[in-house]
Amino acid sequence: MRWKLGTAAYKRVPSRDAAMDPDLETPAEKTPDGGGGGAGAGAGPSWRRSLPHVCVATVTSFLFGYHTGVVNEPLESISADLGFAGNTLAEGLVVSICLGGAFVGCLFSGSVADGIGRRRAFQLSTLPMIVGAALSALTNSLEGMLFGRLLVGAGMGLGPPVASLYITEVSPPSVRGMYGSFVQIATCLGILFSLLVGTPVKDIDRWWRVCFWVSAVPAVLQAIAMEFCVESPQWLYKCGRTNEAEMQFEKLLGPLHVKSAMAELSRSERGDDGESVKFSELFYGRHFNVVFIGTTLFALQQLSGINSVFYFSSTVFRSVGVPSSLANICMGIANLLGSIIAMLLMDKLGRKMLLVGSFFFMAFSMGLQAIGANRHLGSASVYLSVGGILLFVLAFSLGAGPVPGLLLPEIFPNKIRAKAMALCMSVHWGVNFFVSLLFLRLLEQLGPQVLYTMFSSACVVGAIFVRRHVVETKGKTLQEIEVSLLQTQ
C-alpha cells in the first residue's frame, strides 16, 4: 500500500484563525539553517533550541554502539580468562545474550515511555546498563558474564526506541532528518570508541575488565543530564497536560511557534477517532500497514548481516591474515564517514532514496566478500574480503542504519508511536539475536561464500521492499504526515 503526502512543509492553519491571532504563523519559506531563530514572520523554528536535548538523548545510541563493539576485540581474552576458549557456541552466546536482553527490554519500552514519559524512560534505561557493566567487569565465570550482558541488553532494548521517539518529537521538521542521523553517528562513535578502548587488550592482562567499566561513565552522565532536558510535548498533550506541552514547545521552538504547534497537535487528534490503542490492535486494522512496513524494514536490516560484521569482524580479519585492530579502526571510520554523509543528505535527498541506494550498495559489497572467500584467488581474496567489509559498513551507514529509526516514528500516528516502535525494535533485536548467535556456527557449516550470498540476497530484497512500500516524509510535520495517512486509509 502506498500513501501520498502533500508538499507543504508546514500544514497551514485556517486563514481566519491566523488573522485572529498573530502568533499563529504559516511559514512558507525556511532559512538555510532551518529557521534562523524564529525571529520574524516567515522563519521556521530554530534548530538551536532543540539541539542540546537531542544530543543528550543520543548518549543512549553511543552506549548501544559501545556495547555492540565492546566484545569484538577482547572476546578471545575473555574466553581464555573465563575458561570457554574454543567453544564457538559460548562465544556467540556472550555476544548474543545482550541482544536477548534487549529484546525483552524493548517489549516494555512502549509501555514505559507512555507510562512515565520519555525523560524518565531514558533514566530508567541507564540503571541496568550501569549494573550490568559492573557485573561483567567483576565476574570470574561464564555465567556471571552472561548475566551482566543480559542486564546491559535490557537497558539497550529500552533506550534506543525511546531515543527515536524523543528525537522525532522534539525536532523541527526542517532538521528532523539531520537530527535523526545523530543516532547513527552516536552509534558509530560508540563502536569506534569501544574498538579504541579494546586495542591494548592483547598487551595488558585483564584489560577487558576496564573496557566494561568505561561504559558506566556515559550512562551516569546521561541519567544526570536528562534531568535538565525537556519532556516530549506530544506525550504531554496525549496525557492531557496541555499547559506543560505549551511550555515545552516554547523551549524547543520559541514563543512565536507555540500556538501553531499546538494547533497541529489538535488537528491530528481530530483526525483520529480518539480511542485508545491496545498492543494487540497493531496486528490488524488500519494501523497494520505502517506496522508491517516497520517490522519488515527492521528485519531486513538485520538479515543483511550487518551485526555479524560488527560483532565478528576481528575473527574474519584474522582468518585472512589481516591485523584485526587496524582493520576494526578502519571499519569504525568508514561507519562514521557514511553516517556524516547521511546526515548531510537526509533532508535533501530524502529517506527513501537513501534507503534504496544503501541496500543495493550493501548487496554489492557483500557480494565482494563472497567472492573474496575463495582462497584460490590468493592475495586478491584478502583485498576483496577486507574491502568488502569496509564498503558494506559504509553502505549501511548511508541509509539502512540511520533511516529506519527516523522514518518509523515519523509515519506512526501519535497514539500508537511508542507501542509500534517497541514492536518494531523487538523484531530488530530478535532477528539480531539469532543472526549473531548462529553466525559462527553457520560459517562453519555452510562456508563463507554461501552465507555471504544469503546476506547479499537479503539486501536486494530490502531495496525492492523499500521501493514498493516506503513513503517519503522529508520536510513534513509529524501532524501533517499523520493526518495525510489517516485520510488515505
362-390 b/e (C-beta count within 10 Å ≥ 16 → b): bbbbbbbbbbbbeeeeeeebbebbbebbb
* Separation CA 128–CA 60 (nearest Å): 13
Amino acid identity of residue 32, one-letter, is P
Task: Look at residue 151 in the predicted model and tell me its pLDDT.
Answer: 95
**What one-character-per-residue DSSP string does 205-268 give?**
TTHHHHHHHHTHHHHHHHHHHGGGSPPPHHHHHHTT-HHHHHHHHHHHH-GGGHHHHHHHHHHH
Q: Taking each helix axis from N to C terminus, what angle separates 176-198 and 142-170, rounded to the nearest 10 degrees? A: 160
Segment 43-82, tens digit of pLDDT: 677 888 899 999 999 999 999 889 988 887 788 889 989 9
278-488 shares the fold of 47-229:
yes
Q: Which of 360, 350, 354 is nearest to 463 (CA)?
A: 360
Segment 197-255, tens digit of pLDDT: 988 888 888 899 999 999 999 999 999 999 999 999 989 988 889 999 999 999 988 88
Segment 412-463, tens digit of pLDDT: 887 788 888 888 888 888 887 788 778 878 878 888 888 889 999 999 999 9
Task: Look at residue 62 in the predicted model and tell me its pLDDT.
Answer: 94
Domain at 278-488, CATH homologous superfamily? MFS general substrate transporter like domains (1.20.1250.20)
* Separation CA 180–CA 140 (nearest Å): 40
| 249 alpha-carbon distance from chain centroid | 24
- The domain locations on the chain are 47-229, 278-488
* Separation CA 330–CA 314 (nearest Å): 12
Is the pLDDT at 28 greater than 70? The verdict is no
**What one-character-per-residue DSSP string does 392-405 give?**
HHHHIIIIITTHHH
> Which triple of cell numbers denotes residue 137?
567487569
Q: Cβ(314)–Cβ(326) under 8 Å?
A: no
Q: What is the CATH number of domain 47-229?
A: 1.20.1250.20
Q: How far is CA 410 from CA 83, 211, 481, in A?
A: 47, 36, 7
